[in-house]
């Protein structure tokens, strides 16, 4: 059994380079199904979710090759299956993007309900609403089956601001006949990145990053080269680690604009944050003030940074209130933090955190991907040794997390067996 072992209390110092964005990569790779030609995708993070989506698409007939560690060559011209293998699909949430991409290209898709982190109910009704509005018939009984004679552009209003539904409906609409307008869409940086990728391949998408996306259907997408944006959540995780350890970290290869809500909160908590062109330096001052945080769709504070922030606030002076407003149930990891001495009460979607003087090392589990990142932050701050289990969650979304922390001076290692 693998575990990460952290000896807490080291001040982190130095530079860290951020990998390509997981949530952009897991959408752009299946988006290549729509492309009539070869796509070369650069800055692909080397993480488990990427290998899973690549494996699924290869199984369906796509020719995919790593030109180097971070560059994928994808050729879907000979893809001959529109049914995704169930056992692989259930390994990751983003396999739902196969639905939009297969429907867009073949007018037919069959994909099992996706897996991924467990945050309570994770419906995909808004994705299905969009596919139906474009003219598909959709049946959903454990497996989602979608089929259409043709797809026609239309006007769609999403009832909920959803990253997945925004991207999936966009994928289904790029090759549809006529114009599609999607209103009340999500604005996350990876949505803009997927739209930029599709436009670079010949699509006509306008408005990504605003509330309304307008698409003119085109006949075909051609091949090309595209580079994925840096991972906003990996960057935020290292920024919080700097504040948590009273450290001094230059987080490189990022888009500082994407980090505004995290930077603002860290300044409020007492850290110094210096924005450069493509980097942010965070200087922990040793003081961690209490603060209230509410997660919101972009540009609000990201739900995917919530566990890391709660770990930090667990040693703040005073009481902090963290409200999760995106997912029904995203505080499972709090029980693990309590094992380390945190004083946190969860009431529904709110956590009340009474800052304690210090956390104590303990054996804990990564309950999900970002919960696991929160445990690493807690371990870096804690007195003594923390052992973190269930690393498969962390490996889904962080590339060589422990090696990047080691390079910053952390006493952290992965132990196998």
Instruction: For residues 152 and 166, give the distance between their C-alpha atoms in angstroms, rounded to a whole number.
Output: 17
**Nearer CB in complex with ligand EPZ: 304/390:** 304
Pick the binder of ligand EPZ from 79, 94, 312, 359 (CB under 6 A): 94
Closest CA to 266 of 313, 207, 227, 328: 313
Residue 9, preceding peptide bond in cis (omega within 30° of 0):
no
Q: Given the DSSP bridges, would you call strands 35-42 and 221-227 parallel, antiparallel or unpaired? A: parallel
Q: Identify any residues that bridge with 7 across adjacent strands, giving them in sequence order.
A: 385, 411
**Nearer CB in complex with ligand EPZ: 14/139:** 139
Longest dimension (CA), the chain: 64
Binding range to ligand EPZ, per CB under 6 A, among 83-91, 157-165, 331-339, 342-350: 157-165
Instruction: For residues 301 and 312, give the distance between their C-alpha atoms in angstroms, rounded to a whole number.
Output: 15
For residue 9, the surrounding DSSP H or E stretch is none
Q: Does 117 bind ligand EPZ (CB under 6 A)?
A: yes
Instruction: For residues 313 and 307, give the distance between their C-alpha atoms in angstroms, rounded to a whole number.
Output: 10
Binding range to ligand EPZ, per CB under 6 A, among 155-163, 173-181, 221-229, 248-256: 155-163
117 given a catalytic annotation: yes
8 Å CB contact between 359 and 8:
yes
Q: Say which residue the tokens 């910053």 belong to.
A: 408
Provide DSSP, 317-377: BSEEEEE--S-S---TTHHHHHHTT-EEEEETTEEEEE--S--B--EEE--SHHHHHHHHH
Pick the binder of ligand EPZ from 43, 180, 261, 303 (CB under 6 A): 303
Q: Say which residue the tokens 């990460």 belong to.
A: 4
Instruction: For residues 344 and 366, give the distance between their C-alpha atoms in angstroms, rounded to a whole number.
Output: 17
Taking the complex as a whole, the smallest distance from the CB of residue 102 to ligand EPZ amounts, in Å, to 17
Instruction: For residues 410 and 417, give the distance between their C-alpha atoms in angstroms, rounded to a whole number.
Output: 22
**Nearer CB in complex with ligand EPZ: 217/397:** 397
Residue closest to ligand EPZ, measured at CB:
164
Residues in binding contact with ligand EPZ, number by CB under 6 A: 25
**Nearer CB in complex with ligand EPZ: 187/341:** 187
Binding range to ligand EPZ, per CB under 6 A, among 19-27, 61-69, 217-225, 340-348: 19-27
Interaction residues for ligand EPZ, span 121-140 (CB under 6 A): 122-127
Catalytic pick from 39, 78, 117, 140? 117
Instruction: For residues 188 and 43, give the distance between their C-alpha atoms in angstroms, rounded to a whole number.
Output: 18
* Binding pattern for the stretch 327-346 against ligand EPZ, x by CB under 6 A and - elsewhere: x-------------------
Pick the binder of ligand EPZ from 72, 305, 397, 408 (CB under 6 A): 397
Pick the binder of ligand EPZ from 67, 77, 155, 160 (CB under 6 A): 160
Taking the complex as a whole, the smallest distance from the CB of residue 274 to ligand EPZ amounts, in Å, to 27
**Nearer CB in complex with ligand EPZ: 172/315:** 172
Pick the binder of ligand EPZ from 4, 16, 23, 43 (CB under 6 A): 23
Taking the complex as a whole, the smallest distance from the CB of residue 85 to ligand EPZ amounts, in Å, to 19
* Binding pattern for the stretch 351-390 against ligand EPZ, x by CB under 6 A and - elsewhere: ------------------xx--------------------
Instruction: For residues 93 and 71, give the distance between their C-alpha atoms in angstroms, rounded to a whole number.
Output: 23
CA triple 311-114-198, angle to 5 deg: 90
Catalytic annotation, residues: 117
In the complex, the residues that contact ligand EPZ under the rule CB under 6 A are 22-23, 26, 93-94, 117, 122-127, 160, 162-165, 186, 303-304, 326-327, 369-370, 397
């Amino acid at each position: 059994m693998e575990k990460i072992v952290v000896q807490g209390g080291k001040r982190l110092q130095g530079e860290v380079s951020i990998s390509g964005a997981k949530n952009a990569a897991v959408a752009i790779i299946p988006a290549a199904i729509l492309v009539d030609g070869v796509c070369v995708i650069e800055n692909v993070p080397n993480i488990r979710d990427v290998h899973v989506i690549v494996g699924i698409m290869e199984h369906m007939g796509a020719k995919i090759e790593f030109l180097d560690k971070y560059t994928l060559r994808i050729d879907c011209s000979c893809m001959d299956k529109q049914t995704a293998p169930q056992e692989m699909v259930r390994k990751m949430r983003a396999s739902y993007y196969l639905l939009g991409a297969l429907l867009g290209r073949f007018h037919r898709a069959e994909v099992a309900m996706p897996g991924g982190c467990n945050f309570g109910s994770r419906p995909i009704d808004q994705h299905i609403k969009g596919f139906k509005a474009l003219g598909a018939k959709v049946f959903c009984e454990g497996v989602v089956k979608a089929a259409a004679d043709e797809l026609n552009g239309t006007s769609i209003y999403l009832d909920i601001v959803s990253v997945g539904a925004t991207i999936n409906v966009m994928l289904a609409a790029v090759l549809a006949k006529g114009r599609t307008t999607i209103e009340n869409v999500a604005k996350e940086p990876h949505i803009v990145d997927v739209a930029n990728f599709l436009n670079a391949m010949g699509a006509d998408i306008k408005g990504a990053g605003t509330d309304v996306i307008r698409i003119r259907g085109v006949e075909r997408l051609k091949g090309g080269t595209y580079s994925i944006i840096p991972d906003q959540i990996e960057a935020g995780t290292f920024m919080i680690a700097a504040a948590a350890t009273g450290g001094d970290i230059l987080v490189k290869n990022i888009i500082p604009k994407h980090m505004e809500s995290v930077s603002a909160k860290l300044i409020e908590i007492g850290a110094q944050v210096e924005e450069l062109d493509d980097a942010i330096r965070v200087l922990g001052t040793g003081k961690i003030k209490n603060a209230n945080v509410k997660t919101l769709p972009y540009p609000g504070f990201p739900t995917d940074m919530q566990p890391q922030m709660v770990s930090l606030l667990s040693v703040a002076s005073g009481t902090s209130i963290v409200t999760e407003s995106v997912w029904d149930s995203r505080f499972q990891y709090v029980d693990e933090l309590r094992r380390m001495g945190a004083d946190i009460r969860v009431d529904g979607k709110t956590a009340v955190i009474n800052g304690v003087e210090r956390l104590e090392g303990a054996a804990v589990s990564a309950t999900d991907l970002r919960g696991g990142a929160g445990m690493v932050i807690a371990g870096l701050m804690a007195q003594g040794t923390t052992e973190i289990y269930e690393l498969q969650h962390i490996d889904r979304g962080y590339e060589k997390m422990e090696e990047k922390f080691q390079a910053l001076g952390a006493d952290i290692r992965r132990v196998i067996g």
